[in-house]
Structure 1
Amino acid sequence: MDKSGFKGVKFENRMIVAYAVFFAILISSYKLMLMRIGMGESLFGQMNQDTLLTWYLVLEFLGIAISLMICANAYYSFLQMGRIRLVYVYSGFFSMAVMDFFHVISYAGTTGLFENSSPYSSITYWIFGKLLFFIFMAITSFLPLKRKSTKRISVINIALLAMLGTVFLLIHSGAVVVDARSKFVFVGIIIIAIQMIAAYNFTKTGVKLKNWFFIVFAFGILMFFFNEVIFVVRGQNYGVVSIYANIIKIIALLFMFKALFSYNINSPWVQMMEAQERIKKYASDLENVIDKKTQKINEANKNIMKEIKYAREIQQSLLPKNDLIIKDTRFVSRYMPCENLSGDYFDIFKVDDENVGMYILDVSGHGVSAALMTMFCINTVKSTERLINRYRGLKPHRNLNHFYESFNKMSFPPAMHMVIFFATYNFKSKVLTYSSGGMNCFPILIKQEGGHAFLDKSKGFPICQCSDFYTPEYYSSSINLHKGDRVVFYTDGLVDQKKNGVFGQDDLIDLMESNRHKDLETVDRYIAEKMEENGGRFEDDITYFIMEII
């Protein structure tokens, strides 16, 4: 990614500008050295040795402070990111800061904090500081950018301190001392070579990634190169050139601090803020999208509920009247779906002039799918052909056989099934003939003279898709009725106390028997009032009709 403060300027052009500045500083440094040589002692006449030394020490301590700032930057960035490159960066700057500190306080011209301090020891500290620093920078330049460190930070710090302690002891004891001009130049040339390797690798990385921060860091290393060349050419002294070289060093450190701070702290922070802004924008856009989608869903739901309402009206319009009289029989009924559409259904119809047919069924499930299934039942159980309707109606088991066969010819879901109870009543003989298709709650006969009985002599198989491996046999049973007798046909929702909490079967029988002398309309109202005690909230459909012989 191209990171820079020069927006709109090509990366390659910024590279050219950076190196032009580099060569300008190099030429200026070279001219300054020539000027010093030409002016000789006249230039020192303006500033005595103590003043020069004071400025030199101030600049050295300023360089140490900046090095420690960069070290802290890299250290805490490593704690957050874990990149191994940062380990070598903070190790390099910390090593240079420590060695420069020993260099300053061990110089013979200072207060002499070390008894055995000498100019050679001071120079050796200074040289080893640069050598360690650029070795760490060169190693850093070769490491992959995203490689993580597997070592604990405490182990790294102990190793770093142990290395610096060893170097200090070697120099302080005099075991390692740069005490000759040839040695100084030799080590200086090695440092310059390592500098060039590190600068080249960082520049290469910057060009590859088109990332300005790597170029700025490489530029800082190259400015150290001026510093090193000056001291290799002129030697380690504390004249004007040394001060100028230290100024270059501080500028180089500031460039490197800027690059590291921008790459590790400022740039991620800016990216995070930009990401937060994008998230806010996306959240705002998402909220608008959700509002629009919610509106569409609400409109679609409103249309669906409207269609379901129409479907409910259609389904209920197919039901018989709530209070129906056919010759000497009276029927009252109530239909209460737990949802808008119900899987319960019943019908009462004339088979012929002497017989009335009736059935009640309960489809598995609730809602739309169960309601659609009841439509199939209406067209199958009751034929529009009079002779066929009479043939099936007079023999309820024939109707159930036909119903089972028709159901298995359809491609309904395997889990879909239903239970049904079909009956026919003959007005002349007062005989009720019935057949059950797996009905789990048998109709109850409430006798006028007292007592009750269940219509449970016929126990057939539910209507389901099992014809491939089972063919059920349905049969009819019959019972004689008398004037004043009542028969309650109902689905299991009416007596399911666990789901609906209205009646138990015994409660229903007690209510019917205790009110057998009251008119049918009153009994129906008592049942409705009992259901309203539950608040009209049910988990299962409730359907019933009561037949009375009048």
Structure 2
Amino acid sequence: MFAKKLNIDTSSTKFHTIIIAILCMIIIMFVRFSSLFNVFLDQQLFLVLHTIFEILSVLVSFSIFLALYNIYDFTNSIRNVIFANTFYIVGLLDIMHFLSYNGMPMFLTENLSQKATAFWIFARIIMALGLLFANIFEKETISKINKRYFILLSTIFTIVLGYLVIYNSSIIPTFFDEKTGLTSTKIVLEYIVVLLLVVSMYLIYKTSKEKNSILTKHMLIAITIAIASEITFTMYINVHDSINLLGHVFKVISYFLIFRVLFIENIKDPYRKASEMREQLNNHVIRLEDIAKQKTKEMAIANYKLKNMNNKMLKELDAAKQIQMALVPKKYENHLGVKFYSEYIPWGKLSGDSYKYFKIDEKNLGMFLIDVSGHGVSSAMLTIFADRVLTPFDAEGEEDKEFYLNPKEVLKDFYEVFNESDFPEETHMVMLYGVLNIETSEFTYSSAGLNCNPIHIKNDGKIQLLELKDGFPICKLGSIFVPDYHNETIKLGLEDRILFFTDGVIEETNNTNEQYGLSRLKVLIKDKYYLNSKGLLKKICDDLTEFRGEAHMEDDITMYIMDFTKR
């Protein structure tokens, strides 16, 4: 009720930390100022309880060390390796602390309160510094140093420190006097530890990405209790009194909370997330299977028409010549106001080249250019097959129209249909399929291995080759390879033109076996770009004839110009 009136968020990390701090201080004050403060436990009972609490602390310390040390190979986290080695050293020092405690059997040298207190204060300082330095680094900061070097240095440091405390105690400051109790040095160092822990809390809260997460809360609460523990160790008079025992209780609780945070953060959470990801992946697989079934059904319907066309085409092979010539566009055609001019010169009676332009809807024109391997009847049959499959004779539905508006999908589908046919394994073809949107003036196209880049002739005479991605030819390799085709789009200006042609144009040879070449074609276009499309095609044909001379044609010559003039 009071929290609501004061507009306090009772779920926040700050609120929980403050509450724990207040509770700890109440407990400390109660013990300090009550008759319990003057209770001195029986030495043997205290040693039993003290040993139990210290062993619990050591077990937790080594659990933190082993967990983080062993996952270092997978995370290389500098933050975790600092935590691991901090609690490794602290665990060893805590062992030396309770073995050196006054009343325990002699540990190497006579057990005095000074020796046990020295191990205690050094362990606390190292823990505070370890927490501080670990939280300076982000979780993602990695180290390439072998973890064995860290453990080696930590072991050497602990051995040296233990040796100095046990055998050279004269160089160690006095922390406990058997007559007067705690020294000012011990008390000052305890408050320095408290200060380091407060700074660690600030760094943890400041750098935490989720300040109100359960892990952040528990870590700050753990350090708060550790601070309470350090404060109690500035108050005791006798090493066997109740306030001393309370400090050990706080210490064990703090260690357990730190262990819980580091265990969840580095071991439990990753496994939980991995389990969730596996479950999500399984769900995705199930959804993908459903989608695949649906798409397969849709493609089966779409391919049904194509297969019917294919079957009809195979029955009409005996009329190949007549059909092929009937399929070739006229030398001049106009579709939706876009003019097309063409020249088609077969190498023999039948050609292995094919081209076409057609209306898809009221604002889109489709077109393709095909060059089949070889010559003669088999090549001509392939061009008829391609024409029947690629021309949308009955693209009345929106689904059909969308299909023909996507060049790369048309090529992919054509590749699959071709592989389902009974044509010989060695047959193949290269081609280009494009769509012109007359409203946006955008020409989108995709290549299936065409080796002749169409030439974009701008209205100012500048020319530019259209980029062709390395599309895979249409061939009978569908059982081992399914290619990906790519769409390219260019913007046409008013009165721009595009010249499409097969390799028969630039590979035309003369008596000296010299090829006509792309460079010569580009020079001719630059010089004669002012001619209209019909005149430019005639000029190219005349130049080819002059270049060839008395040599015989070696390939089909096919070319057409798409003239995007004002309608």
TM-score by length of 1: 0.57
Which one of 72, 75, 85 corresponds to residue 81 of structure 1?
75
Q: Pairwise mapping of residues 5-16 of structure 1 onto structure 2 (< 5 A)?
A: 12-16=11-15
Post-superposition shift, 1:364?
7.3
Which one of 217, 238, 241 corresponds to residue 240 of structure 2?
238
Confirm whether residue 28 of structure 1 aligns to residue 27 of structure 2: yes
Aligned to 1:196: 198
Aligned to 1:178: 174
**Which letter maps to 1:109?**
G
Post-superposition shift, 1:344?
10
Which one of 97, 105, 112 corresponds to residue 91 of structure 2?
97
Post-superposition shift, 1:184?
1.0
Post-superposition shift, 1:81?
0.6
- Select between 160-169 and 128-137 the one with higher mean Cα deviation: 160-169
Alpha-carbon deviations, 1:482-508, whole Å to 9, x = none? xxxxxxxxxxxxxxxxxxxxxxxxxxx
CA spacing shift, 1:219–1:236, aligned 2, 3 Å: farther
Aligned to 1:362: 376
Alpha-carbon deviations, 1:100-149, whole Å to 9, x = none? 11111122310112124322111101110111111111111211221101
Post-superposition shift, 1:67?
1.1
CA spacing shift, 1:294–1:373, aligned 2, 3 Å: closer
Identity, in percent, stands at 15
Distance in 2 separating the partners of 1:83 and 1:235: 42
Which one of 299, 307, 315 corresponds to residue 301 of structure 2?
299
Aligned to 2:289: 287
Post-superposition shift, 1:313?
3.1
Q: SS at 2:235's partner residue?
A: helix
Post-superposition shift, 1:473?
8.2
Alpha-carbon deviations, 1:279-306, whole Å to 9, x = none? 1111111111111112222222222110
Alpha-carbon deviations, 1:322-372, whole Å to 9, x = none? xxxxxxxxxxxxxxxxxxxxx9988xxxxxxxxxxxxxx816746542557
Post-superposition shift, 1:213?
1.1
Post-superposition shift, 1:18?
4.0
Q: Pairwise mapping of residues 48-447 of structure 1 onto structure 2 (< 5 A)?
A: 48-172=42-166, 173-174=168-169, 175-180=171-176, 181-206=183-208, 210-235=212-237, 237-316=239-318, 362=376, 365=379, 368-369=382-383, 413-415=501-503
Contact 2:12 2:212 in 1 (8 A): no
Distance in 2 separating the partners of 1:223 and 1:302: 75
Aligned to 1:494: none
Distance in 1 separating the partners of 2:90 and 2:174: 17
CA spacing shift, 1:187–1:105, aligned 2, 3 Å: same
Q: SS at 2:108's partner residue?
A: coil
Post-superposition shift, 1:60?
1.0
Distance in 2 separating the partners of 1:318 and 1:201: 82
Confirm whether residue 468 of structure 1 aligns to residue 557 of structure 2: no
CA spacing shift, 1:169–1:25, aligned 2, 3 Å: same
Post-superposition shift, 1:242?
2.0
Gapped runs of 5+ residues in structure 1? 1-8, 321-342, 347-360, 375-410, 418-464, 476-550
Contact 2:320 2:380 in 1 (8 A): no
CA spacing shift, 1:197–1:236, aligned 2, 3 Å: farther
Q: C-alpha root-mean-square deviation of aligned residues, in Å?
A: 3.2
**Which letter maps to 2:214?**
W
- Select between 15-24 and 168-177 the one with higher mean Cα deviation: 15-24
Post-superposition shift, 1:31?
0.7
Distance in 1 separating the partners of 2:301 and 2:239: 87
Alpha-carbon deviations, 1:184-204, whole Å to 9, x = none? 112111111111111221122
CA spacing shift, 1:179–1:473, aligned 2, 3 Å: closer
Give the number of aligned pairs. Answer: 344
Distance in 2 separating the partners of 1:264 and 1:229: 30
CA spacing shift, 1:232–1:303, aligned 2, 3 Å: same
**Which letter maps to 2:174?**
V
Post-superposition shift, 1:11?
8.7
CA spacing shift, 1:208–1:267, aligned 2, 3 Å: closer
Distance in 2 separating the partners of 1:273 and 1:28: 42
**Which letter maps to 2:28?**
S
Contact 1:200 1:218 in 2 (8 A): no
**Which letter maps to 2:306?**
I
Distance in 1 separating the partners of 2:64 and 2:385: 77
Aligned to 2:490: none
Alpha-carbon deviations, 1:378-410, whole Å to 9, x = none? xxxxxxxxxxxxxxxxxxxxxxxxxxxxxxxxx
Post-superposition shift, 1:177?
4.0
CA spacing shift, 1:108–1:370, aligned 2, 3 Å: same
Distance in 1 separating the partners of 2:260 and 2:94: 21
Contact 2:13 2:216 in 1 (8 A): no
Aligned to 2:559: none
Post-superposition shift, 1:310?
2.0
CA spacing shift, 1:318–1:62, aligned 2, 3 Å: closer
**Which letter maps to 1:104?**
F
Distance in 2 separating the partners of 1:11 and 1:469: 88
**Which letter maps to 1:414?**
T
Distance in 1 separating the partners of 2:104 and 2:261: 34
Distance in 1 separating the partners of 2:380 and 2:285: 39
Q: SS at 1:470's partner residue?
A: helix
Post-superposition shift, 1:75?
1.3
